[in-house]
Amino acid sequence: MKNAGEKDLKAIVARRIEFFKRKPEAAIYRPKVTSKHVRGLYTETAVREHLVKADYGEAAGGTNQAPNPIELLLAAFAACIESAFYEFAVHEGLAVHSVTAAVEGTLDLRGLFMIDDVAAGFQDLTYTLNIESPDDEEKVRSLAEKVIGHCPVVDSLINRTPVSGVINIIITGS
């Protein structure tokens, strides 16, 4: 039996799909965060009404108060595929008892430290998505593959995303 939250989610997804089909321009989403350096390698980022903390482990010079930024990227990947799968499983009427994800990657830290000509980003990423469901395995797998193929975090990692910005330098007295 579905709980009220799942019924609401199913209706929300259906409404959004129909609305975005009628008004594609309304589907443009521009998330924004603002971050500030607090001390050492510790930062705090405002995301809507939430505070996301980041820090490095002590071996890297941090105080280990939170995940580091690259770990947060992996967390975003895992959370995106889990929640998107669940959202669309509910929409499709599939029963889901649990969804978990593990994501890991390989970095060559020479890139971060500007040693040699080594890329600073991930060399590879792998995931394991575990889905517990009583429904047909092929139907569940097909939806999971479709969801992963349309996950905005995964897509942003796979496809080249233009990055631009402005650096403002404010000279202050000592």
CATH of the domain at 148: 3.30.300.20
| Residues of the domain holding 84 | 69-160
Q: Are residues 115 and 156 in the same domain?
A: yes
Statement to judge: residues 95 and 154 lie in one domain: yes
Q: What is the pLDDT along the chain (174 residues), one digit of tens a residue?
A: 456 567 799 999 999 999 999 999 999 999 999 999 999 999 999 999 999 999 999 999 999 999 999 999 999 999 999 999 999 999 999 999 999 999 999 999 999 999 999 999 999 999 999 999 999 999 999 999 999 999 999 999 999 899 999 999 999 987
Within a domain: residue 133? yes
Q: Determine the pLDDT at residue 164.
A: 95
Percent over 70 (pLDDT), the chain: 97
**pLDDT for position 72:** 97
Q: Is residue 101 part of a domain?
A: yes
Q: Is the pTM of this model over 0.85?
A: yes
Same domain, 47 and 113: no
In whole numbers, what is the pLDDT of the chain averaged over residues?
A: 94
**Count of domains observed in the chain:** 3
**Which of 102, 106, 104 has its CA nearest to residue 118?**
106
Whether 102 and 141 map to the same domain: the answer is yes
**Short-list 150, 34, 4, CA closest to 88:** 150
Cα distances from 36 to residues 42, 45, 67, 149, 164, in angstroms, run 9, 6, 16, 33, 19
Tell me, yes or no, whether 112 and 154 share the same domain: yes
